Amino acid sequence: MTDVSGKKRVNLRDVAKAAGVSVATVSRVLNSPNAVTEKTRTRVQEVIDQLNFVPSAAARAINSGRTRFVGALVPTLDNAIFARFLAALERTLGEHQLSLVVATTNSDQELEANKAKGLLDIGAEGLIVSGITHSADLRALIDRARVPTIATSYFDKSCALPTIGYDNCGAALLALEHLYDLGHRRVAVVHGPAQNNDRTQDRIRGLKLFEQKTELSWVEAPIGLQGGAEAARQVLSHGPKPDAILCLSDVLAMGMLFGLQGMGVSVPQDLSLMGIDDLPGSAVTVPPLSTVHLPVHRMGEQAATALANWVEHDTRPDHQQLDAHLIVRGSTVRRKRNG
């Protein structure tokens, strides 16, 4: 702290002096209270409270090697799905007395590696990354520094990093199967930028597994309501009208809903529409959006807990698969005989 204030911060020695004990004892009541007599402990604690003593995080870090914060690298804050994830992450890390430093990567692997390095340089004890595809630099960095690092939003037990996430491929398939079951055969798929985004790539891969049974067309659009709305135009202007539109994220689907509405296309009368994510708002759109629920909140909690344990007790977590499940609402209906 740039001690602008006159009197400098109270330190261990001040407390020790005031309590009539040694610095070691004060340090003990802070770090291993059981190693101190109850009597001295309470006395010291009183002095600590009275003097409003707060141990210097820096001094502590330099000795114990603990900084008590971890870093999270996410593509963007500007998407409710990550914001929700981070909210849960932060809350749960807090329960473990860990702070969270957020860095956004804009889905740029080089930027991601740089920011990760920055986080490590300032002492991050662990890292949360999105997905399993990262630059060689970042992988080397994590390897070399042996930083506890968890990959999220993706489940892949063959990944070198522990993954905590869902099966993106399966989630997409869940959606497409639902549309298939409803009789839709011609499906337009709208997805965010696939480059540098393995979650999206994996969802696309899932859909391709189904390509014999359905006729798929593809549109890439920037994530966001705008992107979804603009995609509507593309979907309807090229080729024959699809039976259904599958957006690989809910914001895209909401944007699509507006886009279609603007063009006079009714959902689900004219075509079915689905998303993936299940944002809170997806239940109140008109019609309410069928989607695949992705448990990002739980993902945040589990990632936080796993990372905290790894950092604190050096216990590397196992991969954790979270369940993604279909949510059928009003935006998807059985295909009418003469569409």
Partner DNA sequence: ATGAAAGCGCTAACAA
Partner DNA sequence: TTGTTAGCGCTTTCAT
Task: List the interface residues with a second copy, window 265-304 (CB under 8 A).
Answer: 280-281, 283-286
For residues 99 and 261, give the distance between their C-alpha atoms in angstroms, rounded to a whole number. Answer: 44
Site string for a second copy, 9-48 (x = CB under 8 A): ----------------------------------------
The verdict on 234 binding a second copy (CB under 8 A) reads no
Smallest gap, in angstroms, from Cβ of residue 109 to a second copy? 17
The verdict on 160 binding a second copy (CB under 8 A) reads no
Which amino acid appears at position 145 of this protein? A
Which amino acid appears at position 23 of this protein? V
The verdict on 2 binding a second copy (CB under 8 A) reads yes
The verdict on 1 binding a second copy (CB under 8 A) reads yes
Using alpha carbons, select from 258, 130, 168 the residue that is nearest to residue 245.
Answer: 258
DSSP secondary structure letters along 23-62:
HHHHHHHHH-GGGS-HHHHHHHHHHHHHHT----HHHHHH
Q: Which stretch binds a second copy (CB under 8 A): 10-18, 76-84, 171-179, 185-193?
A: 76-84
The verdict on 31 binding DNA (CB under 7 A) reads yes
The verdict on 120 binding DNA (CB under 7 A) reads no
The verdict on 146 binding DNA (CB under 7 A) reads no
Helix, strand, coil share (%) of the chain residues, nearest 5: 45, 15, 40
The verdict on 28 binding DNA (CB under 7 A) reads yes
The answer to whether 168 and 203 are in contact (CB under 8 A) is yes
Residue 173: count of CB within 10 angstroms of its CB: 21
Task: Respond yes or no on whether the N-terminal peptide bond of residue 268 is cis (omega within 30° of 0).
Answer: yes
Q: What torsion, rounded to 10 degrees, do the Cα atoms 210, 131, 83, 305 define?
A: 120
Question: How do strand 291-293 and strand 325-327 relate by DSSP bridges?
Answer: antiparallel
Using alpha carbons, select from 273, 278, 172, 175 the residue that is nearest to residue 232.
Answer: 273
The verdict on 11 binding DNA (CB under 7 A) reads yes
* Interface with DNA (CB under 7 A): 8-9, 11-13, 20-25, 27-28, 30-31, 35-37, 39-41, 53, 55-56, 59-60, 62-64
* Interface with a second copy (CB under 8 A): 1-5, 54, 56-59, 61-62, 65-69, 76-80, 83-84, 86-87, 90-91, 99-104, 118-123, 125, 144-146, 224-226, 228-230, 251, 254-255, 258-259, 261-262, 280-281, 283-286, 311, 314
